Structure 1
Amino acid sequence: MSHGKIREDKTCLNCGHQVEERFCPHCGQENIESRHPFYYLFTHFIEDFTHYDGQFWGTFKNLMFKPGALTTTYLEGKRQKFVPPVKLYIFVSFITFFVFAIFPLMHFNFNSKNDSEGSGKITIFDRMKTLDSKKIIDSIKAKRVQTQEDSAAVKSLSVLPDSAKIDDLEQAFEMDKKIDHDVQYGGYKTRKSYDSALAKNPSALDFIQKPLAHKFFELKERGVTKAEIAKSLTETSFHNLPKALFIYLPLFAFFLWIFHSKKKWWYFDHGVFTLHYFSFLLLNILFVFLLVKLASLTNIWFINTILYLVLSALLIYIMGYFFIAHRRVYHTHGLISFIIGGILFTLNFFTFMILVVGLALVSFLMIH
């Protein structure tokens, strides 16, 4: 409840009806003074969302620890007890992407070797080189008796690239360099040669390939560096991700609609389940991100061990949450629910990957 001062005038400012107590019986507006300090704009938003009556915290608790409870309660018609699904998704989405905007998701130093030596910064490739896998493997093989753990370690370390491969990779990632003149797109070095070949041999996928090729040649001709491309691509993809998730919501609900009874479950019901599930995913993606960030800030092995154990448990819980929520909401038999859940999970995973690839292509075309 708001702590605003009640107006002496009992006429509602919104609808003109008489207000006997604090709230108007006709429209529900609170009859308090309309002019407030500036900070009230922010405190009122928090009050309105949390309600101080436990609505928000009850929603949060059920969303996190009772898979499917919010959806079941909402579909039963009990809609004043918890935060509405759309409002919950918008709020969680806003908080998640706001935190991502403040703290960068990834920060790798891909500077060239000369730049790193001059600035004293250690690049990601320098860190890779510090682990001399060849020497470790040789020391293990020098043992007279090798245990099963030694054999597993040799197999794992054999996968790591040697110094020569790291040098090649480092050269490829010299982000301060422009796209080389010899770099080709589909075997063509210039836009003119590409368009000429395209006119002679048209393809059904030209509507996708042609814009990408033109953008590539445009960036090449402008002399844009790899670092500028990577930065612009990352920023554009980040700004497009909330839109992509919002677009995917009805598609996720559509897949649920396909695999369940059309008489018992309406598309609306699947939409409610989808909003709650995506709110859970976004919230836990935020928690995973914060745990990883926290682990990167401390070098105390004991604390890092605890953090990574919590992180591992959280990732397992995220994977299993969908199956638990799906069974509780749709009341299907355990084995049938698991099979349907597995199909839906796999189908949505590959469909979303296609959406992510499409998002990357669109982001590339939007580079300026």
Structure 2
Amino acid sequence: MRSALPHPDACENCSTALQGDFCHQCGQSAHSPVRSFGHAVEEVFESFWHLDGRIFRTLRQLLLPGRLAAAYLGGHRTRYIPPIRLFVILSVLTFFVARLVVHVDAGSFISQTPTPPEVPGAFRDATTNEEVEQVRRALLAPLQRSRDTLPEALRKPIDVAIAKVDKQAARRQKELLGLPPGTSAPSAAKPAAPPPRVVPGNGKDPVDIGFLPGFANRWLTGQADIIRQNLPRISERPQLLVNAFFASVPSALFVLVPLFAGLLKVFYLGSGRLYLEHLVVALYSHAFLCVALLGILLLSMLGGQLTTVPAAGTLIGIAIALLLLWMPVYLLLMQRRVYGQSWLVTTIKFTVLGWLYFTLVTAATVVLAIASLARI
């Protein structure tokens, strides 16, 4: 579609005389998308396909360990998406898909909590009240241990299971005593209830960490109080916690990636590379990890749709396992290619660096999970 409007003589952006369809001074097109619908549509699709082509070209190189980072650091930059932009696109996309794929609901949570086995048969085998009590204690012990590990707001499924065991024990005792069904039986001795647990931040037990300043402890106390109030909502809708966690991960990565670049700078002090060059390596490393995680999520989603296809679950499980194994191998090969040191030195540095960074990621995950509880 071409516009019938006359071609302008000067660039509308910088007033430079035009000698073609683009200004040689600032690069702006001579065609205005706001004056021609055809040019507006053309500009949209041109921009889309131009960006799309760069993304696919960049991803092809990214899948080869160290190829993209080495090319970018070697000066070949115009053909590829800049590392920070690529990382932002992939991290946001990956954890958006994670929120769609990973589902946890109250029903699945309750189904995963410990429940007593089919106990009526066990109680029927008991011929005395003492044997009934022994069976009861054996069934209640694992349930009570599980109950003690959960927050107060999440103990309801366990309490229901405990009440069921007590009811079955009382029924069997009545049968042994020959009492009619509506008659009360001697109540079985129940284990002593644990003392009420005081949650930090509820006004009774404020957070007080000695090495932190007062304002930090007050802030933590407030966050703990918010978490305490959110626990009933999480017990009913645990997906809220999952969504809050995945929504926070990209922000956490913006802290972890520069830290990883700092570790690279320390481990490769003699390489002559600047910190920003190590940051490029860190960005491309995490971009690949996002691609691999995205592949795992999509494979998991595909497996959920192919439950009726024979052997599909096995093949998808093998593919996911191979992806998980390839992730550290890829990073090792990338480190070897970019920095060019011997395999022995690279392997030693990769192992120590990986252990340090894994510790940081683990700590960040714990902090992020706790922070997500307060953001719901």
Per the alignment, residue 359 of structure 1 pairs with 368
> Which of the numbers 193, 203, 208 marks the counterpart of 2:210?
203
Per the alignment, residue 305 of structure 2 pairs with 297
SS at match of 2:30: coil
The AA in structure 1 aligned to 2:81 is V
Matched, 1:106 2:85: no
Displacement of 1:20 in angstroms is: 2.8
Structure 2 contact 260–357 (Cα < 8 Å) conserved: yes
> Comparing 33-42 with 11-20, which one deviates more in the overlay?
33-42
Per the alignment, residue 346 of structure 1 pairs with 355
The AA in structure 1 aligned to 2:60 is K
Displacement of 1:105 in angstroms is: 1.7
User: How many percent of aligned residue pairs carry the same amino acid?
Assistant: 23
Q: Which runs of 5+ in 1 are unaligned?
A: 114-122, 132-161
> Comparing 10-19 with 310-319, which one deviates more in the overlay?
10-19
Task: Provide the C-alpha distance between the structure 1 equivalents of 2:58 and 2:89, rounded to a whole number of angstroms.
Answer: 12
Per the alignment, residue 117 of structure 1 pairs with none
Per the alignment, residue 274 of structure 2 pairs with 266
Matched, 1:194 2:205: yes
> Comparing 82-91 with 22-31, which one deviates more in the overlay?
22-31
Per the alignment, residue 51 of structure 2 pairs with 49
Larger gyration radius, structure 1 or structure 2: 2
Per the alignment, residue 90 of structure 1 pairs with 88
Structure 1 contact 125–166 (Cα < 8 Å) conserved: no
Task: Provide the C-alpha distance between the structure 1 equivalents of 2:50 and 2:19, rounded to a whole number of angstroms.
Answer: 22
Structure 2 contact 234–241 (Cα < 8 Å) conserved: no
> Which of the numbers 75, 79, 82 marks the counterpart of 1:81?
79
SS at match of 1:204: coil
Give RMSD over aligned pairs: 4.0
* Superposed CA offset, 1:229-286 (max 9, x none): 8454333322221110111111110000001135611101101111111111111111
Change (3 A) 1:21 1:205: same
Matched, 1:185 2:198: yes
SS at match of 2:311: helix
Which runs of structure 2 are paired with 1:235-314 in the superposition (5 Å)? 235-262=243-270, 264-299=272-307, 300-314=309-323
Which runs of structure 2 are paired with 1:126-137 in the superposition (5 Å)? none
Per the alignment, residue 326 of structure 2 pairs with 317
Task: Provide the C-alpha distance between the structure 2 equivalents of 1:108 and 1:193, rounded to a whole number of angstroms.
Answer: 32
* Superposed CA offset, 1:197-228 (max 9, x none): 96xxx733586666555554566579944425
Matched, 1:17 2:16: yes
Displacement of 1:94 in angstroms is: 2.9
What is the TM-score of this pair, normalised by structure 1? 0.71
> Comparing 320-329 with 303-312, which one deviates more in the overlay?
303-312
The AA in structure 2 aligned to 1:185 is V
Displacement of 1:287 in angstroms is: 0.8
Displacement of 1:9 in angstroms is: 2.3
Task: Provide the C-alpha distance between the structure 2 equivalents of 1:166 and 1:291, rounded to a whole number of angstroms.
Answer: 35
Change (3 A) 1:57 1:366: closer
Per the alignment, residue 152 of structure 1 pairs with none
